[in-house]
Chain A
Amino acid sequence: MSAALRWGLPVLVVAACVGYLIYSASGAAGEYYLTVSQLRAHGPAGDVRVAGVVQNDVEKSENGLHVTFTEKDGTASMPVEYTGTLPDIFQPGITVVAEGQLGGDGVFHARTLLAKCPSRFSTKPYTS
C-alpha cells in the first residue's frame, strides 16, 4: 500500500463517520430558532425555540410552578404556558427563549424556559 493511501484511508474513514454522525444528529435534533413574528408568519411543525420579551401579564399558580404570560417582539405576540422551575431573573421586561411547540389553541406550550441575561457580567449600562 502506498504511503499516501495508508495516511489517507484512516483519515477518510474517520471523516466520513464523523460527517455522517453530524449530519444525522443535526437533522434529527436541530430546532428552529425564531422570533415571535417569524413563528407567526411560518410556524414549522415540531419543536422550536422562540425568543421574545416577557410582557406585564405574568400569572403564576399558587405553588409557583405553573406560569402563563405573553411573549412579544417588535410586531407580534403570543401567549406562553410553562410548568417547571422558573429562572431566577424571570420577570416582565426580560428576554426569554421558550423551547416547545405552538399548540392548535394558539398557546405556545414551553418545555423549557431560558432567561437571556442582557449581559452576563453587568446589570445595565450607565447612560451618562
Chain B
Amino acid sequence: MILGYLGAGALLAGLVMAGFSALLSFWAGWRETDVFIQVGRRAFYAAAAMTALAAVLLEVALLTHDFSLAYVAEHTDLSTPMPLVAAGFYGGQEGSLLYWTLILGVLGSASLVASARIGARVAAYAAGILAAILSFFLFVLAVVASPFDLLSITPPDGLGLNPVLRDGGMLIHPPVVLAGFASFAIPFAFACAALLAGRADAAWIRHTRRFALLAWSLQSAGLLLGMWWAYHVLGWGGYWSWDPVENVALMPWLATTAYLHSSQVQERRGRLRAWSFGLVILAFLLVVFGTFVVRSGVVPSVHTFAISDIGPWFFAFLFACIVFSGALLAFRAGNLGGRVDPAPAVSREGAFVLQNLLLIGVIAVVLWGTVLPLVSGMVGAERVVGGPYYERAAGPILVVILALMAVGPLLPWRHAGRPVVRALRLPAATTCVVLLGLLVAGVRAAPALLAFPLAAAAAATVVTEYGRAVFKNPRSILRRRRRYGAYLAHLGLLVAVAGIAASHFGQQEKDVTLRPGGQVTVAGYTLTYTGSDQRQLQDHTDFIAGMRFGDQTLEPSRATYAGLGGQALTHVAITTTPTADVYVVLAAANSDGSATFRVLVNPLVTWIWAGGFVLILGVALGNLGQREGAPELARRRVPVTLPV
C-alpha cells in the first residue's frame, strides 16, 4: 500500500522537475545564461532520478507480491517463477511505459553529460527537448495510466503473467525493444536542437550520430530477438508476420539505417545535412506513431495492448511532435550550411542518395500497409493486407537495394571513372555464376533468381574491398575500421538475407497423425514417434511427445496452465542441421494414444541469427573507441545564426 503512495509521489515529483527543466532550458538556451543552463540540465537529472526511484518501488512491489497494487495483481501471481515476476515490470501497459521513461531518463542524462563539452546553447536546447519528452511520459504515467493505482480490496493472489510470456525470451526481448524505442528520442533531441540553434558543426553531427548508432544497435538487437522468440516460442514455423506491432518496430530501424548512410555524406562531403537530420526526426516520429498505433488499438493486430485511455494523449503528442519538427525543418533547414547542390549521379554520394530514397520507399510501403485498415475504414469498408502485399510491394525495392549494395561501395566519392567498370567485374561474374547454378539446380521462382545472385554479388563486393586492403595495406583495416566495420555489417546482412530468402522460398511442411512407432518424412528428414509422457511442474502440466531423429530425440510438448482456465501453450522442438531446421509442433494428443504433429523443414534459418549478429557486431566494432578526425570539409565551422 505504502509503495503505491510513494511511487505515485515519485512520478509527480519527476513530472514537476521535468517540466521545470524543459521551460528553464529553453529560456536559458535562448538567453545563453550559463548558470540557468546548468540548473536546467540538473533538473533533468533530478527528474530521471525520480523516474528511477519509481521504477525501483514498482520492482519492490512486484517482488514482495504487494497485491494491493492493481498492476502487481494483474500481471503476476504467487506461482509465477521469480525471474518472471521481476519481468512483470515491463510486462504490462503501465509498467512498460515506466520502463521506457526510465531508459529515456538514463540515456538522456548520459547524452547531456557528454554534450556539456560541445556547446552551451545547443546543449541547452537538447536538454529542453528531452525534458519536454520526459514530461509527456511522466504526465501519462502520473495521471492517465499509473502503475501505482491501488485496489480497494487486496486480493489473496494475482492473475499471473500470460503463459505465452512465461519464457526465458521474456527476460531479454521486451527490455531491448523498449530500450531501442526509447533511445530514438536522444538523436531526435540533438538533431532538433541543432536545427533550432541553426548550427551543426562536425562535433555536433558526430554526437547525434553516436546516439543514433546506439538506438540503431538496440533496435536491431530487439528486432532480431523478437524474430528469434517468435520462431522458437510461438510455434507457427515463421519469424515475421507483418503484424502492425512488428511493422512499427521495423520502420524507425529503416529510417535510422538510411540516416547512418546519409550521415557519411554529411560528415565527409558536407552535403545532406538537413536531410540527415530529417531522417533522425522521421525515425522518432515513427516511434511515436508506432506507440500510438500499438497501444491504442486503432488498427487490428493479433497482439496489442489492452485498449486504454492513453491513445488520445499519444495522438496529441504525435501531432505536437510533427508540428514542432516539421516547422523546424521548414524554417531552419536552410540555416545548417553545407553544400546543397546536387551530388554527381554516378558516385558514392549518388549511391547513398538513391539508397536513402529506396529505404524511404520501403518505409512508405510498410506504413501504408499498417494504416490501410484505418484509412479504408474512414472512407468505406475496412481493408487489410497481409504478407503477399508486403512481398509484392517491398520485394522489388529490396532487390534494387541488394544491387546497390553490390555497386555502391565500389564507387569513389565525387566522380566515378573508368576503373569502376573494372572493379565491377567480380560482382558481375558472381551474379552470373550463382544465377546459372540456380537455374541448373531447377530453381524457377523469379524472386529467388534475383535475390540469391544479387546477394552473392554484394558479398563479392565486400570480399573485393577486404581483399584489396589485405594485399595493399592490412593495417588500414584497423585504422579505418569504421569503413571495414560497415563492410562486415553488409556481409552479415547479406548472410541474413540469404537465410530469409532460403527459408521463405524453401519451407516444406506436413501435418501428420502418428501412433507410437509411426514415421514421417519431410524434405528427406525422417522422424519416428516413440511415445508420450506427462510431467507436473510448478505452474503447469506438460504433455511431452518423443520424436526420434537420427540419434537424438526431439520433445515437442503442450503445457496446460490450470490456474489460467486450462490455457494451453505449445512448446516447439527444433533441431538444426547444417542446411535446415527441423521444426516439430505437437498439435494434439488424441485419446487412442496417437498424436498429431506439424513438421516443418526451414532451410538456413540459422543464417538469419548468425548474419544478424555479424551485422550488429560489424557496426559495433567499426564505431567503438572511434576517434577518427573528421575530414576537412566537415571540420569547417558553420556560422552561428541566432534563433528568431
Q: Does B9 make an interface contact (CB < 8 A)? A: no
Against A, the Cβ 8 Å flags (1 = close, 0 = not) of B335-360 are 00000111001000000011001100
Other-chain contact of A63, B152, B341, B513 (Cβ < 8 Å): B513
**Chain A 1-53 residues near chain B, CB threshold 8 A:** 3, 6-7, 10-11, 14-15, 17-18, 21-22, 24-26, 28-34, 38, 44, 49, 51
**Chain B 25-57 residues near chain A, CB threshold 8 A:** none
Q: Does B368 make an interface contact (CB < 8 A)? A: yes
* Bound Cα distance A99, B596 (Å): 23
* Bound Cα distance A33, B302 (Å): 13
**Nearest Cβ on chain A to B482's Cβ, whole angstroms:** 27
**Nearest Cβ on chain A to B148's Cβ, whole angstroms:** 15
Contact flag A64-B587 (CB < 8 Å), given A33-B382, A114-B302, A121-B92 = yes
Q: Are A85 and B585 in touch, CB under 8 angstroms?
A: yes
For A126, list chain B residues within 8 Å (CB).
70, 73-74, 151, 155, 159
**Chain B 76-120 residues near chain A, CB threshold 8 A:** 91-93, 96
Q: Are A123 and B564 in touch, CB under 8 angstroms?
A: yes
Q: Are A123 and B160 in touch, CB under 8 angstroms?
A: yes
Against B, the Cβ 8 Å flags (1 = close, 0 = not) of A99-128 are 100000000000000111111111111101
Q: Are B304 and A32 in touch, CB under 8 angstroms?
A: no
Against A, the Cβ 8 Å flags (1 = close, 0 = not) of B157-179 are 00110111100000000000000
Closest chain B residue to A11, Cβ basis: B357
**Nearest Cβ on chain A to B227's Cβ, whole angstroms:** 17
Q: Are B305 and A119 in touch, CB under 8 angstroms?
A: yes
Q: Are A33 and B300 in touch, CB under 8 angstroms?
A: yes
Contact flag A32-B392 (CB < 8 Å), given A3-B341, A117-B303, A121-B93 = no
Contact flag A26-B306 (CB < 8 Å), given A14-B357, A121-B92 = no
Closest chain B residue to A99, Cβ basis: B386
For A28, list chain B residues within 8 Å (CB).
388-389, 392
Q: Are B303 and A85 in touch, CB under 8 angstroms?
A: no
* Bound Cα distance A124, B567 (Å): 13
Q: Are B372 and A30 in touch, CB under 8 angstroms?
A: yes
Other-chain contact of B592, A11, A62, A89, A117 (Cβ < 8 Å): A62
Q: Are B594 and A63 in touch, CB under 8 angstroms?
A: yes
Q: Are A88 and B569 in touch, CB under 8 angstroms?
A: yes
Q: Are A122 and B75 in touch, CB under 8 angstroms?
A: yes
Q: Are A14 and B393 in touch, CB under 8 angstroms?
A: no
Contact flag A121-B381 (CB < 8 Å), given A14-B361, A30-B372 = no
For B569, list chain A residues within 8 Å (CB).
88
* Bound Cα distance A17, B162 (Å): 44
Other-chain contact of B397, A11, A18, A124 (Cβ < 8 Å): A18
Against A, the Cβ 8 Å flags (1 = close, 0 = not) of B551-592 are 000000000000011011110000000000000010110111
Closest chain A residue to B358, Cβ basis: A14
* Bound Cα distance A65, B397 (Å): 38
Task: Give how many B residues have a beta carbon under 8 Å from the other chain's beta carbons.
Answer: 72
Q: Are B304 and A65 in touch, CB under 8 angstroms?
A: no
Closest chain A residue to B96, Cβ basis: A121
Against A, the Cβ 8 Å flags (1 = close, 0 = not) of B531-565 are 00000000000000000000000000000000011
* Bound Cα distance A124, B554 (Å): 34
Q: Does A97 make an interface contact (CB < 8 A)? A: yes
Other-chain contact of B303, A11, A25, A63, A120 (Cβ < 8 Å): A120
* Bound Cα distance A26, B376 (Å): 11
Q: Does B153 make an interface contact (CB < 8 A)? A: yes
Q: Does B309 make an interface contact (CB < 8 A)? A: no
Contact flag A33-B383 (CB < 8 Å), given A88-B568, A126-B159 = yes
**Nearest Cβ on chain A to B513's Cβ, whole angstroms:** 4
* Bound Cα distance A121, B164 (Å): 9
Q: Does B630 make an interface contact (CB < 8 A)? A: no
For B590, list chain A residues within 8 Å (CB).
62-64
The 5 closest A-B pairs by CB, nearest first: A64-B588, A25-B393, A18-B361, A6-B342, A25-B392
Q: List 18 A-B contacts (CB under 8 A).
A: A10-B353, A18-B365, A21-B394, A25-B390, A29-B386, A32-B382, A33-B383, A65-B587, A65-B588, A85-B236, A85-B511, A88-B163, A88-B567, A119-B306, A121-B91, A122-B75, A124-B159, A126-B159
Q: Give the interface of B toward A (CB within 8 A).
A: 70, 73-75, 91-93, 96, 151-153, 155, 159-160, 162-165, 235-236, 300, 302-306, 340-342, 345, 353-354, 357-358, 361, 364-365, 368-369, 372-373, 381-386, 388-390, 392-394, 396-397, 511, 513, 564-565, 567-570, 585, 587-588, 590-592, 594, 596, 598
A63-B588, A120-B305 known; 8 other A-B pairs, CB under 8 Å?
A: A14-B358, A21-B365, A25-B392, A64-B588, A88-B163, A116-B300, A119-B304, A119-B305
